[in-house]
Amino acid sequence: MWKRSDKKKSKYGTGVVLSGGGTRGFAHLGVLKALEESDIKPDVISSVSAGSIVGSLYADGKTPEEILEVLTFKKLFNYLEFAIPKTGLIKMTGFEKTLKKLLKAENFEDLSIPLNVFAVNMNTAEYTCFNSGSLAIAVKASSSIPIIFQPVEINNELYTDGGLINNFPVEVLEGKCERIIGVSVNPLGIKRNLDNLRIIAERTFQLNIRSHTLDRKHKCDLFIEPEGLDDYGLLELSGANEIFDLGYKTAKKLIKEKGW
């Protein structure tokens, strides 16, 4: 059983990292449920892309089951429309508006759990952390997969998915937490039928961000990468419940092995 050490004077007890991975992010919810059942709740969250969507709603006070229900019922990911390929193949029409309706908090400061959300500033090439100010627009920017989605403008700068530079933002938690739990939802398996631009764009992005996670997972006290996620695409909504269960089962198994 893990116990907090009196010798350590970390700012937070448990820090949780939630990676990007499109609709595979439903697995984050299963993991969070498993953690709660072991009386483990994040004291701080670092997130990117799909992880920022889950992280914002969880830090806002919703349970994993409630988040699964609202995301599938409200069809947040369905508020998309194809665009003339200028800055992105798909517009995130209605995404921010719908997310604002789901959130009680308007700003990061209103959340019950401190949250870090990462995006890439396309103008300056900087990996940018948002943890204050307007919440929904930052989450939208963090979730805008390059080429597939159009960049998001914030203060006259264009931002895109933080996973482009680092899909596993653990560094912001280092030295601040007594333990770090990392969740990656972007495993890579064999992919056939690469027969259209969207699928090729997805695969290219996945190949790029995979190395970020492998280089950083050793920084975690517990690293969770749910088995079977490579059977699901980045933008598939139909398997939400199955993906949730994959996250839950893998987390339960690893938590038990850890003795927490």
Q: What is the pLDDT of residues 245-254, one digit of tens each?
A: 999 999 999 9
Q: Note the pLDDT tens digit of each residue in 90-103.
A: 455 567 888 898 99
Q: What is the pLDDT of residue 79?
A: 44
Please count the helices (runs of H) and the strands (runs of E) in the chain.
Answer: 7, 10
Q: What is the pLDDT of residue 28?
A: 98
Under the banding of pLDDT at 50, 70 and 90, the label for residue 211 is: low
Q: Which of 21, 36, 25 is nearest to 68 (CA)?
A: 25
Confidence check: pLDDT of 230 > 70? yes
**Beta bridge pairs of residue 91:** 81
Confidence check: pLDDT of 159 > 80? yes
Under the banding of pLDDT at 50, 70 and 90, the label for residue 8 is: low
Under the banding of pLDDT at 50, 70 and 90, the label for residue 145 is: confident
Confidence check: pLDDT of 88 > 60? no
Using CA atoms, how far apart are residues 1 and 103, in angstroms rounded to an integer?
34
Confidence check: pLDDT of 156 > 60? yes
Q: Do residues 103 and 60 make contact, with C-beta atoms less than 8 angstroms apart?
A: yes
Confidence check: pLDDT of 3 > 60? no
Find the range with the poorest average confidence among 27-41, 155-169, 186-200: 186-200
Using CA atoms, how far apart are residues 24 and 49, in angstroms rounded to an integer?
11
Identify the three-state secondary structure at position 5.
coil
| Averaged pLDDT of the chain | 85
Model confidence, pTM = 0.86
Identify the three-state secondary structure at position 153.
strand
Q: What is the pLDDT of residue 76?
A: 52
Using CA atoms, how far apart are residues 13 and 37, in angstroms rounded to an integer?
17
